[in-house]
Structures are given as C-alpha cells and as structure tokens.
C-alpha cells in the first residue's frame, strides 16, 4: 500500500511538473532519470534568469531529486545542473540549490562548456563561501578550462582576492598532504625530494595558461581591458604574498609590470606599479 501511494505521488508530481502528460501516463510511460534531470536543469536555469529566490523552486528541485532525477545530466552545452547553479553569479540563495545538488551526489568535477567546473564559476564570481563549499565537496582545484585557467587563475583574473585566498589555502593544503604521503612512503626522503617530485603543485602561484600568463599577469592584464573590475590592488597583494614571480614573461613578451603601465584609466595603476616595484 505504501508503494502504491508513493507511485501515485510521483505520477501526480510529473504531471504537475510538465515532465509528462496524462496521455503519456495512460500509455504506461514513465519519466526517465534523464528526463527528470533535464527538468531539474530547466528549473535551476530559470532561477538563474529570474535572479530571485523562490522557495517553491528549491522545493521543486528537491522533489525532482527525490523522484530520482539524474543530477549530472548535461544540457546542450555540457553544463550540469550543479554548474548552472554555481554560475548564477552572486544571486540570493544560490547556495541552497548547490547544497541540494551536492547532497544528491552531483559530481563536482564535471567540466562543462569550455572546460569550466562549478568551482571555476564560483571563483570567477568571487563567491568565496561557495568556493569553500565546493572544495569541501572534493573539487579538483588543479583542473584547467579550455584557456588553461585553473579556478585560482580565474579568481585572480577577475579581481576576487577573498576567493583567491581560499584557493591559495586549498593549494597549500594539497601540497602539504602530498608531501605527507611521500614522507609516509619514503620516510627517509628529505623535503627537497618532495619538492622535485611535485613541483607543479608547489609552484601553483606561477602556473601559466595557454598564453603564458600567470595569475599575477592575468590580474593586471585584465585591468587594461576592464579597469574598474574587481579589487585589483588587493588581488595583487594576495598574489605577491603567496610568492608570485613578477619577472615572468608571457607569450607576447610582457611582464605584469608592462601591463600595469598600460592601465591608463585604472584608479589602481600607481598602487599596483608600486607593489610590483617593491
């Protein structure tokens, strides 16, 4: 009897949701996990466009999840509901959608359009709390998008120093844990050997993208295009404190200082030049 009522409840729900019609059900059809997943994506995307939080929508998302919607189903751009939720920008209550999807087992490391993960979108938007949530959910912080940008690079590029600090901390924790694994394996190994084994982890702050730009160069270069975007001075301070190399030259033959000199309209120009010259 309990199963009967659960089944009736599900059939009523899929009718109301628009996933299936009464005719579909009369013919013995039932919604697949992917069909429910696409409705889930549609609901999250609608919230993104509305830029408002509607309690009924998060309830609807939870009901779709309870109906066994595929939480990892991609749309035509390869974005999953989690990526869509994380890319909403700093809108009200998006964390409720992300947490609901994570609780349902959404894969945090799926790479959607242009190779972006949910963490990359949170870093781009400067949502440091969302970054913490996704890192705690085992997001791979070393993944790169199609431009060769990690989440850390995106936080730097778009002038988000708080999110950047969270990601630097995560990279340092990763480095520390990998060194501990090496010491556990080779108890006699000196620190120098560990540094040689995982140099790409240790030098994350000076990683380069497809154009040879480090996080520091990206931050300053972006300001030559959008001079009032983000918190450039604080971003540069965070990067320098973490060991950013000011002498790196990108594929165009330029350093961060060169780009700083091109920031004609930026209110941070003098301060950034002073930091890069210190």
Whole-number Å distance between alpha carbons of 14 and 25: 9
Closest CA to 137 of 86, 78, 88, 207: 86
Are 168 and 238 within 8 A, CB to CB? yes
Model pLDDT, residue 49: 64
Task: Say if residue 7 is exposed, middle or buried (CB neighbours under 10 Å; 0-12, 13-18, 19+).
Answer: exposed
Model pLDDT, residue 228: 83
- Measured between alpha carbons, how far is residue 52 from residues 56, 60, 216 in Å? 12, 15, 34
pLDDT above 90 coverage of the chain, percent: 58
Give the model confidence (pLDDT) of 110-122 as tens digits.
999 999 999 999 9
Are 179 and 191 within 8 A, CB to CB? yes
Model pLDDT, residue 13: 45
Give the model confidence (pLDDT) of 189-226 as tens digits.
555 555 554 444 458 899 999 999 999 999 999 999 99
- Confidence tier at 1 by pLDDT (50, 70, 90): very low
Mean pLDDT on 150-168: 97
Whole-number Å distance between alpha carbons of 116 and 132: 17
Model pLDDT, residue 266: 80
Model pLDDT, residue 28: 46
Instruction: Report the chain's mean pLDDT, rounded to a whole number.
Output: 83
């Amino acid at each position: 009897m309990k199963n009967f009522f659960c089944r009736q409840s599900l059939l009523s729900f899929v009718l109301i949701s628009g996933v299936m019609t009464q005719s579909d059900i009369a013919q013995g059809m039932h919604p697949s996990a992917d069909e429910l997943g696409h409705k889930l994506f549609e609901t999250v995307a609608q919230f993104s466009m509305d830029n408002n939080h509607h309690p009924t929508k998060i309830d609807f998302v939870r009901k779709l999840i309870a109906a066994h919607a595929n939480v990892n189903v991609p749309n035509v751009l390869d974005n999953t509901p989690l990526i869509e939720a994380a890319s909403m920008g700093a809108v009200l209550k998006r964390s409720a959608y992300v947490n609901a999807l994570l609780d349902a087992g959404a894969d945090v490391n799926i790479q959607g359009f242009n190779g972006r993960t949910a963490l990359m979108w949170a870093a781009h938007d400067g949502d440091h709390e969302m970054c913490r949530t996704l890192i705690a959910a085992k997001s791979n912080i070393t993944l790169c998008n199609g431009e060769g940008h990690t989440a850390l690079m995106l936080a730097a590029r778009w002038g988000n120093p708080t999110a950047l600090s969270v990601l630097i901390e995560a990279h340092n924790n990763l480095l520390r844990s990998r060194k501990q694994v090496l010491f556990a394996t080779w108890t006699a190994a000196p620190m120098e050997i560990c540094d040689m084994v995982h140099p790409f982890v240790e030098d994350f702050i000076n990683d380069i993208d497809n154009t040879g730009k480090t996080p520091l160069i990206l931050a300053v270069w972006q300001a030559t295009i959008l001079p009032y975007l983000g918190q450039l001075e604080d971003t540069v301070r965070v990067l320098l404190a973490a060991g950013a190399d000011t002498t790196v030259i990108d594929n165009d033959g330029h350093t961060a200082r060169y780009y700083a000199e091109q920031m004609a309209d930026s209110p941070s120009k003098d301060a950034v030049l002073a930091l890069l010259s210190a």
